[in-house]
């Protein structure tokens, strides 16, 4: 009998449904391959579940706030049990779009121009600041959400209306809109896994384009890049993975425009659903779903 694996999924973030789907599909694949599996929520019963089940590894299938921002990682550190994906600091840095973008800039990684906004400027002053620093159109998004939750492309005529939808957040990012191709690159361990291009039928690769099959986003693999362009893309993705000191798998989101790659963000907990990109990239590289999961288990963070 293979080792016991505890899968944590669900949670209270806006990505709960995706997390549950990731948890179910990972559990199904592991069970099929002889592992003893238990799925649990990250609730008040978590410690007692860990104590009674005694897993060899904890698979973190959480997405969004409290799942990939260092919060659950801090809790898991206290158990002494190895857990998948990135650790506390790496998760927190990657999830905070302001901090991670500053790190990219410091390390000469191209990223769209931006500034943070705390709803403290008058409407006229905000628009003047955008005109001065960035130019319209712009992208507005929360500082620490994933899966393109509450991300909007705005122009002068709709930005104030869209900003009202983000009032629940203390601070948001206002970012230069890069109109280029949507390309994602995956790293596992310290190796370059591969890349995929996305052609959404919607305005951009938003939450619906990612998770609604009816959105009919086109997935293109291999990506139509020259060898030099592809190498450049994967070098940047690996560099970002390393400077954030990430563990396991990451998926970096890029825009490719006028022969330049712009890194938007690094995702430390990519989805493992039927529409998820990392399993698709892995499959193209002849890495089965179970092999991909086992690589994540093998790379689980060992608690000292």
Residues labelled as active-site residues: 15, 147, 211, 251, 253, 265, 267, 271
- What number of other Cβ atoms are within 10 A of residue 108's Cβ? 8
Residue showing tokens 């990506």: 223
Closest to 67 (Cα-Cα) out of 22, 17, 21, 9: 9
Q: Strand locations in the chain, DSSP E?
A: 4-8, 36-40, 57-60, 114-117, 138-142, 152-154, 172-176, 181-188, 191-199, 218-220, 249-257, 260-267
Are the beta carbons of 262 and 151 closer than 8 angstroms? no
- What number of other Cβ atoms are within 10 A of residue 143's Cβ? 16
Closest to 297 (Cα-Cα) out of 64, 2, 1: 2
Joined together, the tokens standing for residue 111 give 């990223």
Orientation angle between helical segments 97-106 and 88-95, nearest 10 degrees: 90
Burial class of residue 189, CB neighbours in 10 A (0-12, 13-18, 19+): middle
Half-sphere exposure of 171 (CA within 13 A, CB side): 9
Half-sphere exposure of 254 (CA within 13 A, CB side): 31
Distance between CA atoms of residues 150 and 128, nearest Å = 23
End-to-end CA distance of the chain: 27
Q: Which of helix, strand or coil describes residue 231?
A: helix
Joined together, the tokens standing for residue 120 give 């403290």
Paired residues of 52 in beta bridges = none
Joined together, the tokens standing for residue 85 give 């994906």
């Amino acid at each position: 009998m293979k080792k016991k694996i505890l899968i944590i999924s669900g949670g209270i973030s806006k990505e709960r449904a995706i997390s549950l789907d990731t948890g179910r599909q990972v559990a199904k694949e592991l069970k099929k391959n002889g592992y003893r599996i238990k799925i649990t929520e990250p609730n008040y019963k978590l410690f007692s579940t860990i104590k009674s089940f005694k897993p060899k590894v904890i698979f973190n299938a959480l997405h969004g706030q409290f799942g990939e921002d260092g919060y659950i990682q801090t809790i898991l550190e206290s158990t002494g049990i190895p857990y998948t994906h990135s650790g506390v600091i790496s998760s927190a840095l990657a999830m905070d779009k302001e901090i991670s973008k500053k790190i990219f800039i410091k390390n000469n990684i191209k990223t769209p121009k931006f500034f943070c906004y705390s709803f403290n400027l008058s409407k006229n002053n905000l628009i003047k600041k955008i005109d001065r620093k960035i130019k319209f159109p712009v992208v507005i998004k929360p500082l620490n959400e994933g899966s393109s939750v509450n991300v909007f492309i705005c122009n002068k005529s709709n930005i104030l209306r869209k900003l009202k939808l983000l009032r629940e957040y203390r601070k948001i990012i206002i970012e230069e809109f890069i109109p280029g191709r949507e390309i994602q690159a995956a790293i596992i361990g310290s190796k370059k896994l591969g890349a995929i291009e996305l052609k959404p039928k919607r305005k951009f690769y938003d939450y619906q384009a990612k998770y609604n099959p009816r959105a009919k986003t086109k997935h293109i693999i291999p990506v139509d890049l020259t060898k030099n362009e592809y190498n450049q893309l994967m070098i940047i993705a690996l560099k970002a993975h390393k400077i954030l000191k990430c563990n396991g798998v990451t998926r970096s989101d890029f825009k490719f425009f006028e022969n330049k790659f712009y890194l938007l963000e690094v995702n430390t907990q990519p989805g493992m659903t039927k529409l998820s990109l990392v399993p698709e990239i892995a499959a193209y590289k002849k890495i089965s779903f179970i092999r991909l999961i086992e690589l994540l288990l093998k790379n689980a963070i060992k608690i000292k």
